[in-house]
Structure 1
Amino acid sequence: MSWIDWTVLIAFLGYTIWDGTRRGKEASTIEGYLLANRSMPWWAAGLSVMATQASAITFIGTTGIAYVEDMRFVQVYLAIPFAMIFICMFLVPFFSKMQNFTAYEVLEERFGLKTRLTTSGLFLISRGLALGVLIAAPSYVLALLLGLPLYITILIIGVIATLYTTVGGIAGVITTDVKQMAIMMFGLVFCFILIWLNLPEEVGFEGALYLAGSLDKLTVLDVSFDLTEKYNVWSGVIAAFFLMASYFGTDQSQVQRYLTTDSVKNARKSLLLTAYAKIPMQFFILLLGVMLYVFFIFNSAPASFRATEPVAQTEQQQIAEQKILKEYQVAHLNRKEAALEAVQNRDDQSQKLFVETDAQMNDARDAELALQAEIRQADVNDTNYIFPYFILNYVPIGIIGLVVGGIFAAALSSIDSELNALTTVSIIDWYQRLQGNLHTEAHYVKSSRGVTFFWGAIATVSALLMGETKSIIELVNQIGSYFYGSILGVFILLLWVKRATGTGALTGLISGMFSVFAFDRLFFNSITGDYSFIFPWSTVPEGYAKAVEFLWLNPVGTFVVVIVGISISLIWPKSK
């Protein structure tokens, strides 16, 4: 980046830190620090809900998925409107009536302290792991900017985020989130327009859609019912409903947002803002990834978007790489010529030639990635580096700093939100509850800051251990799918099963978690038709694939918790 971009980036991040910490002066009480004294406007809480989920992951992971695959990932969000209506009807009035700090306090009255602590403990584990991903996400961009190893950039962003979060309260987090959403959308819209304007004149937007459609990049809906497919209409509407209902309805990082509003009406309005805006936003971001793919048909792009060099190469590997790169360059040129011809002619023969040349280029690209993986003895997937490469190489000077600043600031804001939620649960559900509320407000505020720092350190270590992953946006949903369904099941027992007991709820919760991990390790051999449970530390035999994809783990966990919880409650109706 140029000195102009560095100046813009540093100035923007400096303003973000100042804007977030200045509200910390109002956090003199535990309610002020954790819930902003329940005084936030609904639109700010709603934008915070969206910003917390979006952040840098939206920029990097979602565009990367559309680039290497297609737009079917949007199906994950089809359930959001239905989930929001469900939450607005049943959970929001319940939480607002109870006037609690956390979503898990309500469980103790019906099901006892053990169920409350177990459920909140699962939240701490799941969000603690996911927070590591939120720290790793902007670190990919930072690695490109500074040319440092990924673990160094993780430490940099983790330390900055932790220090910033410890100072600010939830009011500062939400205030900052609002500005981050504006910067995020500016960056996305600007990049989309920039790609559009830099397409060849004879191609244009309509021609770009034609080329993307020829490659099936515009595939949005898959109506086939297949439990082994990650994304189709059924997993998006049915399975993802349980994920979204639990995430927005029982996850403290989201519940805490609408707990900061002053009424049920405003809490509902904050959630409905996400219900209306989330699917169009995700569709636009995925379309940006597809347009990015078309852009690189006509503009130079490396075989690998990672800015790393192999640690060692034998002479044989050097010869192999030279051959691959030559094939890649020839294929890239052939694809460009075939694309122009396909747009001009719009006939089957030209379209077929374009698809063939695209496949040849991707074969060469895959061969390069495979060779780099062999040299480094590690996964070198570059999905998370595609959009950052475009920003650094094609976005104008001055705007680069603002776009990258938006990515970093959004990431810091999301990390802020998660840390604040983890702190709230740790202090309210564990420390204060088990200590019997014996200390002063000042003590709990001071303790909250200390716990925030602790979780920031844990999340940074988690990010270091996590390393590379094919798609950070998928990993976040996968982590959540191990926990969310079971937690939602406990709340269903609370709201609609009057005979449910503490023993039933706790047994159901434990059973739900075991069932999720069991189904996650169930594999299917498409040749022999055999099903096998394969432990995580075992090698998956050739020909086996997961029988149930991760989104379906959510309804599995929910149903097991409810069925087991009801059964145990009927067997021991007086147990608590």
Structure 2
Amino acid sequence: MSWIDWLVLIAFLAYTIWDGTRRGKDSDTIEGYLLANRSMPWWAAGLSVMATQASAITFIGTTGIAYVEDMRFVQTYLAIPFAMIFICMFLVPFFNKMQNFTAYEVLEERFGLKTRLTTSGLFLISRGLALGVVIAAPSYVLSLLLGLPLNITILIIGIIATLYTTVGGIAGVINTDVKQMIVMMFGLVFCFGLIWMYLPEEVGFDGALYLAGSLDKLTALDLNFDLTEKYNVWSGVIAAFFLMVSYFGTDQTQVQRYLTTDSVKNARKSLLLTAYAKVPMQFFILLLGVMLYVFFIFNSAPASFRASEPVAQTEQQVQSEQQILQQYETAHQARKEAALEAVQSRNESTQQLFVETDAEMNEARDAELALQAEIRQADVNDTNYIFPYFILNYVPVGVIGLIVAGIFAAALSSIDSELNALTTVSIVDWYQRLIGDVHDEAYYVKSSRGVTFFWGALATGSALLMGETRSIIELVNQIGSYFYGSILGVFILLLWVKRATGTGALVGLLSGMLSVFIFDRLFYNATSGDYSFFLPWSTVPESYTKAIEFLWLNPVGTTVVVCVGVIISFIHNKE
């Protein structure tokens, strides 16, 4: 990056620290620090909800998925409007009536302290694990963009987020999230417009859609019901409904946002903002990834979007590298010519030729990635490097700094929210509950700041130790799917099963977690028709695939918790 870009980035980061910490003076009570005295406007809370989920993972991972695959990932978000309506009808009034600090306080009155601590403990584990990923994932590509060592970018993100969250509390978090959301959206819209502008005049936006459609890149809906497919309409509407209700309705990172509003009406409005905007936003980001693919048909692109390392080491690898790159360049040029001819004539023969040349180019690209994997002796994937490559090589000077700031903003907006939520659960559900309310407000505010610093340091440390992930956005959803369904089941028992007992809820929760683990490790051999269970450290044969994909773990966990909880409660009540 040029010195102008560095100046823009440094100015943004400095403003973020100032903007987040200046609200610290309003956080002199525990309610002020953790809930902003329930005085935040609905639109700010709503934008904070969106910014928390629209992290750097959304910037980098979603565009990469659309580039490498298609737009079917949008189906994961189809359930959001239905989930938001459900939460607004049932959970928001309940939480508002209880006037609680966390989503898990309400469990103790019906189910006892053990259930409350177990559920909140699962939240701490799940979000603690995810937070390391949220810091580490964008750091890899930011290190490429900035030309800095990986450890330095991790420390920059971790330290800045921890600093202003520790000082400013939830008011500082929401205040910075609003600005960060604006910067994020500017970066996405600018890149989309830039791609459109760089397309050849004879292609244009209409031609780009024609080419993308010819390659099935615009496929957004899959109506086939298949538990082994990650993304289809059924997993997006049914399985993801459980994920989204649990995430937005029982996860403290989201619940805490609408607990900062002053009424049920405003809490609902903050959630409905996400209901209206989230699916179109995700569709736009995926379309940006597809447009990137069309852009690189007419502009130079490397066989691998990763950095030049690793280089070939043996003579045979050198020869293979040269042969692959020659094949790639030839296929890339042939694809460009075929694309121009296909757009101009738009008949079946030219379209088929374009599809064939695209397949040849991707065959060479896959061979290059396989060679890199052989040299590294590790799985290699460049999905998370595609968008950063475009930023570095095609975005004008000055704007690069602003877009990189947008990626930083996306990372920070997720980290600060999780830090604040982890602190709230740690203090309210554990520390304050177990030792009793024996200290004054100043003590608990000071303790909250100390706990925020602890979680920030722990997450930053774990990010430093974490390996690079294959698809960062999928990994976060997979981590969440291990926990969300089971936690949702406990809340269903709380709200709609009047005879449910604490023993039933606790045994159901543990049973749900066990069932999720079992189904996640269940594999299917399509040739023999056999099902096999593999432990996490076992080697899974290539002939086996997942029996059910991760989104379906959410309804599995919920169903098992409710069923086991009802049965155990019936037995307990009978005794």
What's the TM-score bracket when you normalise by the shorter of the two chains?
A: over 0.9
Quote the Cα distance in structure 2 between the aligned partners of 1:150 and 1:279.
Answer: 33
| Mapped partners of 2:16, 2:422: distance in 1 | 22
Counterparts of 1:361 and 1:307 in 2: how far apart (Å)?
Answer: 19
Q: Separation in 2 of the partners of 1:135 and 1:169? A: 19
| Bigger shift: residues 372-381 or 352-361 | 372-381
Give the TM-score of the pair, scaled to structure 1.
0.98
Q: Count matched residues.
A: 575
Q: Could you tell me which runs of 5 or more consecutive residues in structure 1 were left unpaired when the two chains were aligned.
A: none
Q: Distance in 1 between matches of 2:312 and 2:534?
A: 34
**Aligned 1:347-366 pairs, distance under 5 A:** 347-366=347-366
**Matched residue, 2:220:** 220
2:93 match: 93
Distance in 1, Cα, partners of 2:574 & 2:155: 52
Q: What value does the CA root-mean-square deviation take over the aligned residues?
A: 1.2
Partner of 1:258: 258
Letter matched to residue 316 of structure 2: Q
Question: How far, CA to CA, are the matches of 1:146 and 1:183 in structure 2?
Answer: 18
Q: What is the alpha-carbon distance in structure 2 between the residues aligned to residue 398 and residue 483 of structure 1?
A: 42
Asked if structure 2 preserves the Cα contact closer than 8 Å seen for 1:42 and 1:266, the reply is yes
Residue 468 of structure 2 corresponds to residue 468 of structure 1: yes
Q: Distance in 1 between matches of 2:376 and 2:285?
A: 32
1:373 corresponds to: 373
Query: Match of 2:524, SS?
Result: strand
**What is the aligned partner in structure 2 of residue 405 from structure 1?**
405
Give the aligned residue type for 1:134: V
Provide the TM-score with structure 2 as the length reference: 0.98
CA distance in 2, matches of 1:551, 1:466: 24
| Cross-structure match for 1:133 | 133
Q: Which amino acid aligns with 1:191?
A: C
Give the corresponding residue for 1:528.
528
Q: For 2:154 and 2:93, locate their aligned partners in 1 and report how far apart those are by CA, in whole Å.
A: 40
Determine the structure 2 residue equivalent to 1:555.
555
Show the counterpart of 1:70: 70
| Cα distance in 1 for residues equivalent to 2:308 and 2:110 | 55
Report what 1:160 is aligned to: 160
What is aligned with 1:40? 40
**Equivalent in the alignment of 1:570:** 570
Alignment correspondent of 2:441: 441
Q: CA deviation at 1:151?
A: 4.0
Once superposed, which parts of structure 1, at least 4 consecutive aligned residues long, lie more than 4 Å away? none
1:196-218 residue CA offsets vs partner (Å, 9 max, x unmatched):
01100000000000000000000
Q: Deviations over 1:44-68 (max 9, x none)?
A: 0000000000021111011000000
- Output the CA distance in 2 between the equivalents of 1:137 and 1:9: 19
C-alpha distance in structure 1 between counterparts of 2:257 and 2:523, whole Å: 39
Match of residue 317 from structure 1: 317
Query: Matched residues in 1 for 2:574 and 2:440: separation?
Result: 38
Deviates more, 1:17-26 or 1:233-242: 17-26
Question: In the TM superposition, what is the alpha-carbon distance from 1:147 to its structure 2 partner?
Answer: 2.8
For the residues of structure 2 that align with 1:356 and 1:466, how far apart are their CA atoms? 39
Residue 7 of structure 2 is matched in structure 1 by 7
Query: Amino acid of the residue matched to residue 315 of structure 1?
Result: E
148-157 vs 12-21, greater mean Cα deviation: 148-157
Q: Is contact 2:66–2:290 with CA below 8 Å preserved after alignment? A: yes
Report what 2:119 is aligned to: 119
Q: Is the 8 A contact 1:77 1:236 kept in 2?
A: yes
Residue by residue over 1:284-309, the C-alpha shift from the partner in whole angstroms, topping out at 9 and shown as x without a partner, is: 00000000000000001111111241
**Letter matched to residue 258 of structure 2:** Y
Counterparts of residues 389-400 of structure 1 (less than 5 Å) = 389-400=389-400
Deviation per residue, 1:351-408 (Å, 9 max, x gap): 1111111111111111111111111112221111111111111111111111111110
% identical aligned pairs: 87
The 5 A counterparts of 1:450-529 are: 450-529=450-529
The structural deviation recorded for 1:314 is 1.3
Whether contact under 8 Å (1:60, 1:137) holds in the other structure is no
1:178 — aligned with what? Answer: 178
User: Distance in 1 between the 2:308 and 2:143 partners?
Assistant: 10
1:572 is paired with a residue whose SS is helix
Query: 1:141-192: per-residue Cα shift (whole Å, max 9, x none)?
Result: 3211233443443233223322332222101111111111111111111110
Would you say 1:20 and 2:20 are equivalent positions? yes
CA distance in 2, matches of 1:235, 1:464: 34
The 1-side partners of 2:312 and 2:224 are apart by 45
What is the rounded CA distance, in whole Å, between the counterparts of 2:269 and 2:306 in structure 1?
A: 42
1:223 CA drift (Å): 0.2
Q: How far apart, in 2, do the equivalents of 1:118 and 1:570 lie?
A: 21
Partner of 1:52: 52
Gaps of 5+ in 2: none
Aligned equivalents of 1:235, 1:414: Cα separation in 2:
25
3-state DSSP of counterpart to 1:40: coil
Conservation of the 8 A alpha-carbon contact between 2:181 and 2:409: no
Question: Which residue type is aligned with residue 98 of structure 1?
Answer: M
Give a deviation string over 1:252-278, Cα, whole Å, max 9, x none.
000000000000000000000000000
Residue 574 (structure 1) shift: 7.0
Tell me the amino acid that sits aligned with residue 52 of structure 2.
T
* CA distance in structure 1 between the aligned counterparts of 2:359 and 2:458, rounded to whole angstroms: 43
- Counterpart of 1:542, as a letter, is E
Asked whether the equivalents of residues 137 and 469 of structure 2 are also in contact (C-alpha less than 8 Å), the reply is: no
User: Partner amino acid for 2:29?
Assistant: T
Structure 1 stretch 501-510 or stretch 537-546: which is displaced more?
A: 537-546
8 Å CA contact 1:212, 1:218 repeated in 2: yes
